């Protein structure tokens, strides 16, 4: 279902829990599906002993991808015109993430309606892991 | 000062046929059960065909043997993905053939707190379909930190 400009107002929010208790298996699965085999996401020995991190951590793109699922559930499929994020904090195995979109602007350009969204994903401690924005075409 | 001599360097074009199986596998990996990523009949009725999830385009960065990414010397033990942006211009469907061309858009340094001096590299990728239409662009920012940075 697509959103409709006439039913939207600035400040509207939509929220989803996008993952509960993130597993290392999920990181391996995303590595395979995306082709991103950077060992800091899958190889605990390399990550702790060579790179010096406390453990493997999630691909930023896994968090962005799961946050994108919240966005497409909200705005509908094939509706996004822009989606960008800053990765503000690492995501670790065991984390539970919640993603939120908030309506910032509703606008019309050449007869086409758009919504601009503020996007934020936080972990179980309320700390932001992704800070972003998105724009989507909406129905009148 | 950061060595900026790699700005403008362009990688080899990466060509990917958009396949239903790859989309299904990717959607599963991001825990997205949306039937539009796996059921062709449902997708056709709703949006004209199976379309990839918004961040699927990133798989083109890892599709070839690495020549698509223009070489910038970075220490792989200390790199972090800083920012990512996609702009979508035209729909992408299963059966399309996309060509991705990536160039180094910018290189700069910032003095940070925990990570010491950080080097930022921005790569821009243009995605073009088989009809020569530009369907999307991506901006990828990678950060080389002075040391391993773990945030909790």
| 8 Å CB contact of A68 and B53 | yes
Q: Could you tell me if B31 and A30 are in contact, meaning their C-beta atoms sit under 8 angstroms apart?
A: no
Give domain status of residue B151, yes or no: no
So what's the pLDDT on residue B114? 67
pLDDT 10s digits, A114-132: 999 999 999 999 999 999 9
| 8 Å CB contact of B53 and A65 | yes
User: Does B149 score more than 70 pLDDT?
Assistant: no
CA distances from A46 to A38, A89, A122, A136, B144 (A): 10, 20, 27, 40, 17
**For range B32-60, the mean pLDDT:** 95
User: Does B11 score more than 70 pLDDT?
Assistant: yes
Burial of A74 (0-12, 13-18, 19+ CB in 10 A): buried
Note the pTM of the prediction, 2 decimals.
Answer: 0.95
Give pLDDT < 50 ranges for chain A: none
Q: Grade residue B146 by pLDDT with cuts at 50, 70 and 90.
A: confident
Size of interface A-B (CB pairs under 8 A): 124
User: Domain segments of chain A: what residues?
Assistant: 5-138
The domain in which residue B12 lies consists of 4-144
Paired sense of beta strands B14-17 and A128-138, if any: unpaired
User: Does B71 score more than 90 pLDDT?
Assistant: no
CB nearest to B54's CB, from A35, A51, A72: A72
Beta bridge partners of A85: A132, B84
**For range B21-50, the mean pLDDT:** 96
Q: What is the CATH number of the domain that holds B30?
A: 3.10.129.10
Percentage of residues in chain B having pLDDT higher than 70: 93
Beta bridge partners of B104: B123
So what's the pLDDT on residue B1? 63
Least confident interval from A117-126, B17-26, B69-78, B143-152: B143-152
Q: Chain A closest CA to B32's CA: distance in Å?
A: 6
Q: Chain A closest CA to B4's CA: distance in Å?
A: 23
Paired sense of beta strands A13-19 and A80-87, if any: unpaired
So what's the pLDDT on residue A1? 62
Give domain status of residue B150, yes or no: no
DSSP state of B111: E
Measured CA to CA, the distance from residue A95 to residue A99 in angstroms comes to 13
Query: Which backbone phi and psi does B113 adopt, to 5 degrees?
Result: -85, -85
CA distances from B119 to A66, B4, B123, B129 (A): 27, 11, 13, 33
Show residues of chain B in contact with A68, CB under 8 Å: 30, 53-55
Measured CA to CA, the distance from residue B43 to residue B35 in angstroms comes to 7
Architecture of domain A5-138: Roll (3.10)
Show residues of chain A in contact with B62, CB under 8 Å: 34-37
Residue of B nearest to A17 (CA): B31
Give the residue from B84, B145, B149 with the most A CB atoms within 10 Å of its CB, the best one to mutate: B84
So what's the pLDDT on residue B116? 76
Per the structure, the count of domains in chain B is 1
pLDDT 10s digits, A36-52: 999 999 999 999 999 89
Measured CA to CA, the distance from residue B7 to residue B122 in angstroms comes to 9
pLDDT 10s digits, B120-132: 999 999 999 999 9
């Amino acid at each position: 279902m697509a959103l409709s400009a006439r039913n939207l107002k600035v400040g509207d929010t939509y929220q989803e829990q996008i993952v509960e208790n993130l597993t290392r298996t999920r990181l391996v699965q995303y590595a395979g599906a995306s082709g991103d085999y950077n060992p800091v996401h899958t190889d605990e020995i390399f990550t702790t002993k060579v790179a010096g991190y406390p453990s493997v951590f999630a691909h930023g793109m896994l968090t962005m991808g799961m946050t994108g699922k919240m966005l497409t559930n909200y705005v509908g499929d094939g509706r996004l015109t822009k989606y960008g994020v800053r990765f503000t904090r690492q995501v670790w195995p065991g984390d539970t993430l919640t993603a939120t979109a908030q309506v910032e602007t509703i606008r019309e350009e050449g007869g086409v309606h758009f919504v601009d969204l503020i996007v934020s994903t936080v972990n179980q401690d309320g700390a932001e892991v992704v800070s972003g924005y998105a724009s989507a075409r909406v129905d009148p | 000062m950061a060595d900026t001599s790699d700005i403008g360097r362009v990688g080899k074009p990466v060509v990917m046929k958009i396949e239903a199986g790859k989309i299904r596998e990717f959607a599963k990996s991001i825990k997205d059960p949306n039937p539009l990523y796996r059921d062709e009949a449902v997708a056709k009725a709703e949006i004209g065909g199976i379309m990839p999830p918004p961040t699927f385009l990133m798989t083109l960065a890892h599709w070839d043997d690495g020549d698509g990414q223009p070489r910038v010397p970075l220490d792989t033990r200390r790199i972090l993905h800083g920012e990512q942006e996609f702009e979508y211009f035209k729909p992408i469907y299963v059966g399309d053939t996309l060509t991705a061309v990536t160039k180094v858009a910018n290189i700069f340094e910032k003095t940070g707190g925990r990570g010491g001096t950080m080097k930022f590299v921005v790569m821009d990728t243009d995605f073009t379909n088989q009809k020569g239409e530009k369907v999307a662009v991506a901006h990828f920012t990678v950060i080389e930190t002075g040391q391993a940075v773990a945030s909790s």
